């Protein structure tokens, strides 16, 4: 695949995965909204979750656009595979499951923080020798917004994990915050893949 194709594939997975898990689990097994995206590992959608995260990992590990891009994308790719291979902590866990769940938490945190940094810092780079187009300015606004949204979602998730349980927990806020973060990075990668907000190429006039 071309680097544009890889970007688009990452974007599609980011946007689609939460909704595929949510709808698939309900249609197949009448399972309601889970506490987090990772909790779908313990539903009938386990293979979809693991397969999608492994695919993400492969796409990121194969992404070789520039040296900085390759280093950061490799870190994100390893984290994505870690999310897939180390399940989140289940209910009533054993000590081993708690240890594995910790690895999952670290992998997920690195994954989302890496994506936030990618959108905010790497995607917004501009060649100083090339005039910035209006579309590029618009793309940079979306890239920075995506990075900020992901970080805000992670902060809110961290807050929810330390505050006492309350009525809001019935709405599964962590799942929806993770969904917002996932869609945000998905949109960012689709734009970088020139699916959205693409610069218009004006055809040259015939002599």
**Least trusted range by pLDDT, from 27-31, 65-69, 120-124:** 65-69
What's this model's pTM, rounded to 2 decimal places?
A: 0.92
Structure confidence by residue, pLDDT tens digits, 135-180: 999 999 999 999 999 999 999 999 999 999 889 999 999 999 999 9
pLDDT at 79 over 90: yes
Quote the pLDDT of residue 206.
42
In the chain, where are the structural domains located? 3-192
Encoding tokens for residue 156?
């809110």
SS3 200: coil
Encoding tokens for residue 71?
């280093």
Residue 16, judged by CB atoms within 10 A of its CB (0-12, 13-18, 19+), counts as middle
Structure confidence at residue 202 as a pLDDT band (50, 70, 90)? very low
- Cβ-contact 10, 189 below 8 angstroms: yes
What percentage of the chain reaches a pLDDT higher than 70?
Answer: 96
pLDDT at 68 over 90: no
User: In sequence order, which residues have a C-beta less than 8 Å from that of residue 153 and are 6 or more positions away?
Assistant: 112, 177, 178, 180, 181, 184
Structure confidence by residue, pLDDT tens digits, 95-111: 999 999 999 999 999 99
Better-scored residue on pLDDT, 78 or 126: 78
């Amino acid at each position: 695949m071309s680097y544009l194709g890889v970007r688009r594939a990452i974007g599609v997975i980011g946007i689609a995965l939460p909704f595929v898990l949510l709808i698939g689990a309900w249609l197949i097994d009448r399972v309601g909204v889970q506490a987090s995206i990772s909790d779908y590992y313990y539903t009938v959608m386990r293979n979809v979750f693991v397969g999608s995260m492994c695919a993400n990992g492969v796409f990121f590990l194969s992404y070789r656009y520039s040296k900085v891009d390759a280093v950061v994308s490799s870190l994100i790719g390893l984290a994505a595979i870690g999310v897939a291979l180390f399940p989140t902590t289940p209910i009533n866990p054993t000590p081993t499951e708690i240890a594995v769940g910790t690895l999952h938490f670290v992998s997920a945190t690195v994954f989302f923080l890496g994506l936030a940094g990618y959108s905010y810092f790497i995607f917004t780079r501009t060649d100083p020798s090339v005039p910035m187009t209006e579309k590029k300015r618009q793309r940079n606004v979306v890239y920075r917004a995506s990075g900020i949204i992901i970080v805000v979602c992670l902060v809110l998730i961290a807050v929810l994990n330390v505050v006492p349980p309350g009525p809001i927990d019935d709405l599964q806020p962590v799942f929806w915050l993770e969904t917002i973060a996932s869609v945000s990075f998905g949109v960012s990668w689709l734009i970088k893949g020139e699916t959205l907000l693409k610069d218009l190429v004006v055809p040259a006039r015939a002599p």
